[in-house]
Amino acid sequence: MKVLFLDIKIFFANMDMLEAFESYRDSSGKPLEIIRYSYDYDEKRVRNDETFEDTFQKVLRDNTPDFVFSFNFLPVVSKVCNKEDITYVSWIYDNPENLLYSFQVINKCNIVCMFDSRQYELFRNNRINTVEYLPLAASTKRLDALVPGKAEIDRYSADISFVGSLYTERKQYYEEIAPRLDPYSLGYIDGLIKAQLQVDGMNFIEECLPKRVVADIERASNLAIYPDSAETLEYLFANYIINRQATIIERKEILTMIGKRFSMKLYTYNQNNSFSPKGVENMGPADYFEVMPYVFKLSKINLNITLRSIQTAIPLRCFDILGAGGFLLTNFQADFLRHFVPDEDYVFYESRTDLMDKIDYYLRHEDERTSIARSAHDKVAKEHTFDVRVGQILELVQARR
């Protein structure tokens, strides 16, 4: 079988997935034939790009792959694959991802693999039959090969670590539009965020946006729906503005709260170097390949606070923590229950009080902590590697033939 692999460097999992494709052997020991095609991701050209479309059409005709693969759904690729009657497999890597609402998503060439089961069910319930559920993965091969030496142990050992964005280093739509919102909308949104932060496992922001508030955000912001897209303003504003703001508040509050009782390390973008509350050591950014695995291996507790627009899915960070053999303490995400066992493979907290209690408990119970981390690592190595996912993707492709 021949796959044309869209090589998109900006996606961290790109290298692991390519390695898994290259390692694959079928039942007779035959490898995949892989054509690497470098794709320079540009948000402005990912929907329509006549130059790319003409070039890519020729590439497909010259190479005749059985399928094309990319991370995230690229409408411009789907358009060409549909014309050429070639299967296009995309594996969603981000959430929110408004490109999923492109009209091209219904093209019969598509197999769109979604890592969030709620998003998958939403599309299926609306008769979009080109989508499948496929959680993310980890490369235990790569992670196991990284053995900490004295330098790594000295630098990255920690009681608690959090690796992630504070979202203040990116475009802050909420801060930009807040001065332009009327007092009713501003108060409503602030109240909605406060309510949402009391609840894990269910996101109600989008459903609770009244027309008056939506209209006011539309007036105050420069966000708009693309002509070739089926997304709603409620989806756009809930996920790109309000859920992001909720995550900013939540992460800062939780990290500050933890720092008052425990010592912890924060790995985040350089633009956030001013955020260093008591007890929190801001370590700056952690390189995904060179640093992050050591952080996960050498932290007694690895904390996950999921971006609020990811409704049920297991974030890539969590797979990397578990695949590295780290102990994971996370907010509740329903998809964990599909694949892992609470208190056996990972631990989730139900409230901020519960979070603090569980940090205190697991810092004092090393045997339980290491047993849970070992169980999760072994389960990821068996069921949730990129090698396993390549096999699952090939089954989906073959089922379409």
Assess whether 74 and 107 both reside in one domain.
yes
Domain count of the fold of the chain: 2
Assess whether 267 and 394 both reside in one domain.
no
**CA 370, 372, 373, 377 torsion: positive or negative?**
positive
The rounded distance, in Å, linking the Cα atoms of 311 and 243 is: 10
Give pLDDT tens digits for 307-317: 999 999 999 99
In a domain, 223, yes or no: no
> Which own/partner contact pairs does 50-53 have at CB distance under 8 Å and 24+ positions apart?
52/76, 53/79, 53/80
In a domain, 367, yes or no: yes
Residue percentage of the chain with pLDDT more than 90? 93
In a domain, 201, yes or no: no
Assess whether 118 and 267 both reside in one domain.
no
Give pLDDT tens digits for 120-173: 999 999 999 999 999 999 999 999 999 999 999 999 999 999 999 998 866 678
The rounded distance, in Å, linking the Cα atoms of 253 and 297 is: 25
Which residues contact residue 137 at a Cβ distance below 8 angstroms, ignoring those fewer than 6 apart?
Answer: 13, 16, 319, 380, 384, 385, 386, 388, 389
> Is residue 282 within a helix (H) or strand (E), and if so which, with residue range?
strand 280-282
Cis peptide before 96 (omega within 30 of 0): yes
Residue 271, pLDDT score:
78
Q: pLDDT tens per residue, the chain (401 residues)? A: 999 999 999 999 999 999 999 999 999 999 999 999 999 999 899 999 999 999 999 999 999 999 999 999 999 999 999 999 999 999 998 888 999 999 999 999 999 999 999 999 999 999 999 999 999 999 999 999 999 999 999 999 999 999 999 988 666 789 999 999 999 999 999 999 999 999 988 899 999 999 999 999 999 998 899 999 999 999 999 999 999 999 999 999 999 999 999 999 999 987 778 898 999 999 999 999 999 999 999 999 999 999 999 999 999 999 999 999 999 999 999 999 999 999 999 999 999 999 999 999 999 999 999 999 999 999 999 999 999 999 999 999 999 87
What pTM was estimated for this model as a whole? 0.96
Assess whether 42 and 153 both reside in one domain.
no
Assess whether 127 and 258 both reside in one domain.
no
What is the domain range of residue 81?
A: 2-137+385-400
CATH of the domain at 265: 3.40.50.2000
Assess whether 166 and 297 both reside in one domain.
yes
Q: What is the DSSP letter of 352?
A: H
